[in-house]
Each structure stands twice: as C-alpha cells, then as structure tokens.
Chains A and B, each alone.
Chain A
Amino acid sequence: MNAALTNPVPDTDAEVGNDLILVEAARDGDRRAFEALYRRHAGWLLPVLWRLAAGDRSRAEDWLQEAFVQAWQKLDQLRDDAAFPAWLKRMAINLALADQRRGQLTLAEQTSERAAPEPPWPAADLDLERAIVGLPERARQVLVLFHLAGLGHAEIGQAMGIDPGTSKAQLHRARTLLKERLA
C-alpha cells in the first residue's frame, strides 16, 4: 500500500463511526443515509476517476454514478462496514478499468482529438494535470492508482490483470514521461 499518498477518506474514529451508522441505515433501505454516504465519499472519488478517464469529465461522472448505484445494490455483500470507503473505491476503479478495456479504441480517438482538458476543480498545477491525462493509458492508470488512489503494486496488478512487476515498470515509465514533459 502506498501509505505516503493515501486518499482523503475518513480515518478518524468519529468519521468511521458515522460511516458505520450510515452504511447500516442504507442497508436497511434508508436513501437519506445513502445520500449522506455519497456526499462524504463522492468528493475524493471524482478526481481519481477524472484522471483515470484522461480528463473526460462525463465519463468520470458516469463511472461515479454507476459505482454508487452498484454500491446501493450490493451493500448486503459488504462484510465489514468500516471498509466501505475502500470497498467503494475498489468498485469504482474496477468499473473504470473494465469500461476502458471495452472502449479502448474509441477513448484513444476521442482523447487525441480533444483539446487539453481542464479539470472540474481550480487546478493548482494545471501543467501536471494535463501531463498526467496525456500519458499513455496503462502508464496513466498505474500512476493514478499508485499516487492518487493509494493502491500498492499488488492491488494494481490485481485490478488491472497484470503482474506487479509490470505495474512497477509502467509506473517508472509514467514518471519518466512526466519528468520529461515537465522539465
């Protein structure tokens, strides 16, 4: 696990406690509780998905919506309520990667035709944002999952269906490309 750069997910006892209450209520069919979970967790998930989507905002929002709809439908399968943020993140990432695998060619064409994307938030480092979304797909996915989603190489390998060693190689490639473009 990449401990240095983890997600801003709730990690204090009080926040985890709130999650437990909300997850339990949502599991009982309480939509207000599920909306509260959405408001607590959609905010940190969206930037990860936007960067995975190479700056395609509508695609990132589609994945976000789909992830929450699936979370609602599969809440009964969640064994440890305290693990809701990690469970949701894994679900959203798997959705995004699967969708990209299906539409690889289409996405590549769209990306090449698009102008440099603007993130939906006031970017503190627009050059870096653009350099990231401009990376080759696999290198970008590994860099985003490692540095911005807080996954380790074993988890990345599992999510992407690649060897952890390949994940390390792709990360090295991504970082080299970024350093070249930002120099």
Chain B
Amino acid sequence: MKTDDSRLDQSLDRRLAALTRAHAPDPALWHGIEGRLPPHRRSRRLAIAAAVGGLALIVATLAAQLQREPLLDPGRMTVDAEAQALRALEPETIPAAWTEAAAGLESAWHDNQAAIAELEQALERSPGNRLLLDFLAQARRRQARLIGQAATEHSVFIPTERSIDT
C-alpha cells in the first residue's frame, strides 16, 4: 500500500515532467546578441593554414640557403685543408734536377718527410680517414722513390733519420 507521501511524490514528478521545456525567445533577443558578437573572429582553420604556410616558407628558405652554402663540418674542413696542403707539396712529376743534385734530393726528402709527419699527426686526430691514409701511402712511396734515385745515381745523400716503411 502506497503512503500519502509517495503518492504526492509521484504526483509532483508527473507535474514536473509535464512542465513546458521549450519556448522560442523574443525575436529581438537575437538582434541583441548579433550586435554584441565581435566583428572579426579568426577562424581556427585559417590560423592553422597560416601557420602551415609560414612553416613551409621557412623550410623552403632554409633549403635554398643550404643549397647555396652547405653547413661546414669542422672535422671535414681540417681534413680538406690538410689534403690541400699535401697536394700543394706533391709535384706532378719529380723534377729532373732532383736526379742531378744530391742537395735537391735531400731537400725533397726533407719536405716529403715533413709531409709524412703532418699526415701521421692528422691521422691521430682522424683515425681511419681513407683520404689521409692514401696521401700517407703516396708520400711514403715517394720517399722510397727518392731514396732509390739517390742510390742509383751514386748520390751523396743517404737518409738515416728513419727507416722506410711502406
């Protein structure tokens, strides 16, 4: 059996559920709202598009800049400079005067020895550098050739400071 209170509760619930839930506001209200809306709203889509466009522009500019001026690697610069210095030291062919004068041979041998020392120092800084290894091998072959020339032509110059190691 239901109590009076629960009957009253049910009645109240029915009446509450039956209350008006929707009513169109006065049409003038919208005009009041419209007049207060800020005139310029930046849309999120436009903002994103602008950001993407800006980023693309920056990337394109950087890419063009890098093509013109590649980033310099200090290690690579050192090796290139040393290689360039060695190329300058290396004659295209051994001058004929070297075979004619012991003094010329000795001078060439000392220059070549200095180049070998520099290459060995560079290799200590950049172990396994193939370019330096190639130059070192060439320098040592040249050293052997100079010694061979001196011996063949009875030159007075006989290197004694270090052994030949090719």
Contacts and interface: CB of A to CB of B under 8 A. Distances in A.
Interface of A: 4-5, 7-8, 27-29, 31, 34-35, 38-39, 42-44, 46-47, 61, 64-65, 68-69, 72-73, 76, 119-125, 128-129, 147-148, 175, 178-179, 182-183
B32 interface: yes
Contact of A28 (B15, B34, B45): B45
Given A42-B25, A69-B37, 6 more contacts: A5-B16, A35-B34, A43-B25, A64-B25, A65-B36, A124-B18
A28 B38 CA distance: 13
Interface string B16-36: 111111111110011011101
B23 A175 contact: no
Given A29-B43, A65-B32, A148 B19 contact: yes
27 contacts: A5-B16, A5-B17, A7-B21, A8-B22, A27-B45, A29-B40, A29-B41, A31-B37, A38-B30, A43-B25, A46-B23, A46-B25, A61-B26, A64-B25, A68-B33, A69-B36, A72-B33, A119-B23, A122-B20, A123-B20, A124-B19, A124-B20, A125-B18, A129-B19, A175-B12, A179-B5, A179-B8
Contacts of A34: 37
Interface of B: 5, 8-9, 12, 15-26, 29-30, 32-34, 36-38, 40-46
A47 to B, nearest CB: 6
A68 B101 CA distance: 102
B149 to A, nearest CB: 84
A175 B25 CA distance: 28
B37 A47 contact: no
A65 B16 contact: no
A175 B8 CA distance: 10
B46 A28 contact: yes
